[in-house]
Amino acid sequence: MTVVTRFAPSPTGRVHVGNLRTALHNWLFARQQGGRFLLRIDDTDRERSEERFVVAIRADLGWLGLDWDGEARQSERFGLYKERFAALREAGRVYPCFETPQELELKRKVQLGRGLPPVYDRAALKLGEADRARLEAEGQRPHWRFKLDHDTAIEWDDLIRGPHRFDPKLLSDPVIRRANGSWLYHLPSVIDDIDMGVTHVVRGEDHVSNTAAQVQMFEALGAPPPAFAHEALLTGAEGKLSKRLGATDVDHWRETGNEPLALAAKLARIGTSLSVEPVASMAPLVERFDFATFGRAPARFDEAELAKLNAQTVHLLSFEQVAERLPAGMDARAWEVVRPNLERVADAADWWHVIEGPVAPEVVGEDRDYLRAAAETAARIDWAADPWHALTGALKEITGRKGKPLFLPLRCALTGRDHGPDMAALLPLIGRERAVARLEAAASPLP
């Protein structure tokens, strides 16, 4: 069996971090199993769906590093839905209902007031042909429900949550088509999963009750249900579902300098027994993906932890992976020198400025004579091998300084900072001419 997974966003808005996590898990499993990952645009809601969101969905998945093996749009498949709907109607598995939203809400309140579950009472099934004709003649158009089989328990073995069992009598027959003829989520999704050969459906645990109804839809359409994996939802660092996370689109993560690999590493592992670790490619995430490691507790997403992971990820990136984002003139040697001090790739520009200059050193008065000696020494040492150790070794003998008093004034004069990359690696990039000039400038008396 070829594994086929899918990501099925609705283009009514931008995808957020929870959506990305679902897409990533579907992609990881498909790639691990040598299968296919499909993108399905669930655009049955014509009023709210916008083409700009379709474009954004593709771009956001691409930014995260996810490719897909096929794409479909539900708005182009209405003919298929009508055909399957007609077959279900002929088999008595869908039926028309004429209650208004207000009437249904009243029924719901009455049931809740009596301590009963708010399950649809199937009153529409008691209408005869004459009743339905009369209501339609009065201008009422029906919505349509799928008729659950009350005699058969709904069961499946979830890949994350384990065995599930639902009593269909405790579920409302789901509405599958509105009075205006438009489709709701349930039936088109099932029809598409069958038609596209989807073998595994990975989605959030908020879909569990949907799955219960859809299991019977698969069976009514003569197809075995796919395997289901319902993952715990994300929560924020504050320990509850974060509305901000739910409203944050990919632009936020991109604009704040987060690497897609860092976000992927975070989303691939949070909520599992595997440790969240930086990666230089998707390969380790694909290799170790396993539904058996997923827990049922809410998955905690902490942006502060992501920031640390992002810095660790940057430290793994090769020059080839970042070359297009580096300042003009910065080569692989310079990247490798400054990389350990970066939190974001964009920060490399700051260190390239330190190398290229000019810099504004902060020098205390008592160090000026020392830096004058450093400038003279730097002008005569051999720069071909290891100029930093040649310079500091000579200055140690000349001045008797050692430790911080020996090294820190030099760093401040040469870079304008009191911290940064290893000076033994940085000084050759600064070069003899710039280094001598900076030391001389730092040693000069203030005007």
| Rounded distance between C-alpha atoms, residue 427 and residue 254, angstroms | 33
The count of residues in the chain is 447
Kind and range of the H or E run holding 154: strand 154-158
| 173 closest CA partner among 123, 224, 102 | 123
Sign of the Cα torsion 44, 37, 232, 291 reads positive
- The stretches of 91-236 forming alpha helices (DSSP H) are 101-113, 129-137, 186-195, 208-220
**b/e per residue 337-368 (b: at least 16 CB within 10 A):** bbbebbebbebbeebbebbbeebebebeeebb
| Rounded distance between C-alpha atoms, residue 6 and residue 340, angstroms | 38
| Rounded distance between C-alpha atoms, residue 97 and residue 171, angstroms | 16
| 288 closest CA partner among 28, 6, 27 | 28
Angle between helices 404-415 and 368-380 (to 10 degrees): 80
Tell me the two tokens of residue 269. Answer: 């592992």
DSSP state string for 220-250: HTT-PPPEEEEEPPEE-TTSS--HHHHH-BH
Residue 243 assigned to a binding site: yes
Q: How many CA atoms lie within 13 A of 199 on its CB side?
A: 11
Q: Which residues are annotated as a binding site?
A: 243
Please report, in range form, the residues annotated as the binding site for ATP: 243
